[in-house]
Amino acid sequence: MIPDLIVLADTVHTMDGGHSDPIQAVAVRAGVVAAVGSRLEAQDWAQDGTRVVDLGSATLTPGLVDCHMHPVFGLDLTIGVDLSGAAGLEDVRTLLASESRNDDAWLRGWGLNPNAFGEVPLHRSVLDDVSGDKPALIRLFDGHSALANSRALEAAGIHGPCGFEQAAEVVCDGDGVPTGLLLEAAAMELVQRHIPQEPFSERKARLADLLRDFARSGLTGGHVMDHSEESSALFQALEADGELPLRLRSAPWCMPGSDETEWKRLARTMGTGGRRWSVETIKLFVDGTVDNGTAWLYEPDTLGQSTAPFWPRPEEYAAAVRYFAARGIPTATHAIGDAGVEYVLDALESLRGDVPADILRGTVHRIEHLETVPDGLVERFKGTGIVASMQPTHCTHYSLADQSDNWSTRLGKERADRAWRCRDLREAGVTLGIGSDWPIAPFEPLPIIADAQLRRRSGHPGEEPIAPAQALTALQALEGYTSHAAKAAGLWEVSGSITVGKRADFTAFDLNPLTTDPDEFAASAVLGTFVDGEIQFMLDRTA
């Protein structure tokens, strides 16, 4: 064995539990791990032509993988002014007024947290006051809603309530006049289709920059929870210029109103892709969000909302899942509310009688988000093989320990106390993949790993933790980005640990993620990433 590359680090966490002696060296040949051992053993591996990268006191782990992200869809969700840092309504107005003075034909913004509005209702008049003669569309932070001004509603021909095949809504006041609030994709698309499209070249450049930022943050892969023909074209164009800096596994959407013809079309896309991207999963939605009153709860929220599924005829959702599962195609279902999570569990458990056992065993099905679930649903995960995919910073960035935030207020104390039950699911033996849901929340994995342990925002030690009993250990948090991320994609045989024969995807840290204080780790440096044993990013410590 003549390795192409040897990576040395004082600490190597292989995440496979197979070594009693410390590992400090990894050899790579043809893109896979060829050997692991000590620095002394590595001296015998090196031959002429072997590249040696000595990271000194660094820590090396399997490459970090974000289990839920939207890099291409996020291009649309991050146009205009970033409102995510707005602390109150005056901040929102100031930022929008400044953005309105640019030369664009539309006023755009994104990341708007409804908590910034306080007691003021989300209404088009807030945009009318600052947008001048421009139409305006502002995306809310959850990605499932937007606020349009009067000019935008006029441009879209929206004058009252609209009917949709899915649970979407043009919110209207008591007189049937649109307020400007648009809930879910079908309603937002009524306005979105009138906005001039960004040129492909600009989108390609923005995506290239974004993927490089992902790599610099420590990511070597991502589970992309959307896909379109444009996604394929962008990935192909970027690969024509060189390698993508991380692996991407995409999941096109299966939406309400689709039929077996559409399901067949989606099934034909499975396995297509390029060198480092592929279409591998089907994404479905069974509800919306708590913040907008479109989640699916057993009982209404405090405003009398969140009682309906995203699929008006949920049995059609179950039929779609059955269609894909019978063909060995994995599914990932967005389910936030307790009733939604239960319905997905029912649909997936019913597959046992409909799908051959060998196909069922070989296919991983996932539930995304699981923001509020009672004890009984946690117990039901045991032994099912169903994966939970969760985003710790949805909890730490958008809810508060005193439950005065919009999410908690809508749910009430009992349901808000069940917030993001990461630890309970892990203790139930559930595979738990962790991710960001970018651009809904920041993508940097180190703060997310820290927040999963702290149950508050890293770097804010004065904040009270939210449901602290649900904190993950440092090992569990790291597993969510490595070994459990691989299992969540059905890839444990080829990735997720530094094991001979597996992909040579690594992340190098300045500090040890398993022994460093979480706040300190969140603020520390990523030294480098490797994909297929090739350096994708290496920090220049001489600069």
Give me the pLDDT at residue 114, please.
Answer: 85
User: Whose CA is closest to 104, among 78, 135, 59?
Assistant: 135
Query: How large is the average pLDDT for residues 417-427?
Result: 97
Q: Are 309 and 296 spatial neighbours (Cβ–Cβ below 8 Å)?
A: yes
Lowest mean pLDDT of 4-13, 95-104, 395-404, name the range. 95-104
Q: Are 269 and 252 spatial neighbours (Cβ–Cβ below 8 Å)?
A: yes
Q: What distance separates the 2 farthest-apart alpha carbons in the chain? A: 80
Same domain, 159 and 187: yes
Same domain, 119 and 256: no
* CATH code of the domain in which 109 resides: 3.10.310.70
151 lies in which domain range? 80-192
Same domain, 228 and 107: no
Residue 459 has pLDDT above 80, yes or no: yes
Q: pLDDT tens for residues 261-284? A: 999 999 999 999 999 999 999 999
- Among 192, 221, 252, which residue terminates a domain? 192
Retrieve residue 122's tokens. Answer: 């989300």
Q: Would you list the DSSP string of 191-212? A: HHTTSPPPPHHHHHHHHHHHHH
Number of H helices, E strands in the chain: 21, 24
Express as a percent the part of the chain with pLDDT over 70: 100
Residue 421 has pLDDT above 70, yes or no: yes
The owner of tokens 């060998």 is 358
Residue 406 has pLDDT above 90, yes or no: yes
Task: Give the chain's domain count.
Answer: 2
Q: pLDDT tens for residues 189-230? A: 999 999 999 999 999 999 999 999 999 999 999 999 999 999
Q: Within a domain: residue 292?
A: yes
Query: Rounded to 5 degrees, what angle do the CA atoms 326, 328, 330 make?
Result: 110
The phi, psi pair for 33, rounded to 5°, reads -70, 125
Give me the pLDDT at residue 241, please.
Answer: 96
Residue 543 has pLDDT above 80, yes or no: no
Same domain, 162 and 205: no
Same domain, 282 and 177: no
Q: Within a domain: residue 312?
A: yes
Q: Within a domain: residue 475?
A: yes
Q: pLDDT tens for residues 34-84? A: 999 999 999 999 998 899 999 999 999 999 999 999 999 999 999 999 999
Alpha helices for 489-530 (secondary structure H): 518-522
User: Whose CA is closest to 108, among 87, 131, 79, 130?
Assistant: 79
Retrieve residue 426's tokens. Answer: 């892990």
R_g of the chain computed on alpha carbons = 23
Q: Within a domain: residue 516?
A: no
Q: pLDDT tens for residues 283-328? A: 999 999 999 999 999 999 999 999 999 999 999 999 999 999 999 9
Strands (E), 387-476: 387-390, 432-434
Same domain, 284 and 345: yes
Retrieve residue 185's tokens. Answer: 């994709």
Give me the pLDDT at residue 279, please.
Answer: 98
Q: CA-CA distance, 403 to 413, in Å (whole number)?
A: 7
Give me the pLDDT at residue 121, please.
Answer: 86
Residue 116 has pLDDT above 90, yes or no: no
Express as a percent the part of the chain with pLDDT over 90: 90
Q: pLDDT tens for residues 332-375? A: 999 999 999 999 999 999 999 889 999 998 999 999 999 999 99
Same domain, 159 and 186: yes
Q: CA-CA distance, 408 to 152, in Å (whole number)?
A: 31
Residue 187 has pLDDT above 80, yes or no: yes
Cis peptide, bond prior to residue 439, ω within 30 of zero? yes
Give me the pLDDT at residue 472, please.
Answer: 98
Q: pLDDT tens for residues 463-483? A: 999 999 999 999 999 999 999
Same domain, 360 and 462: yes
Q: Within a domain: residue 262?
A: yes
Q: Within a domain: residue 47?
A: no
Q: pLDDT tens for residues 72-82? A: 999 999 999 99
Q: Within a domain: residue 111?
A: yes
Same domain, 141 and 230: no
Same domain, 448 and 299: yes
Same domain, 119 and 239: no
Same domain, 270 and 138: no
Query: How far does CA 372 lie from the centroid of its chain?
Result: 17
Q: CA-CA distance, 179 to 193, in Å (whole number)?
A: 19
- Among 128, 157, 192, which residue terminates a domain? 192
User: Whose CA is closest to 166, among 233, 225, 253?
Assistant: 253
* CATH code of the domain in which 217 resides: 3.20.20.140
Q: Within a domain: residue 93?
A: yes
Give me the pLDDT at residue 542, please.
Answer: 63
Give me the pLDDT at residue 117, please.
Answer: 86
Q: Which residues, 6+ apart, have CB-to-CB distance to 175 below 8 Å?
A: none
Confidence of residue 165 (pLDDT cuts 50, 70, 90): confident
Q: Which residues, 6+ apart, have CB-to-CB distance to 517 below 8 Å?
A: none
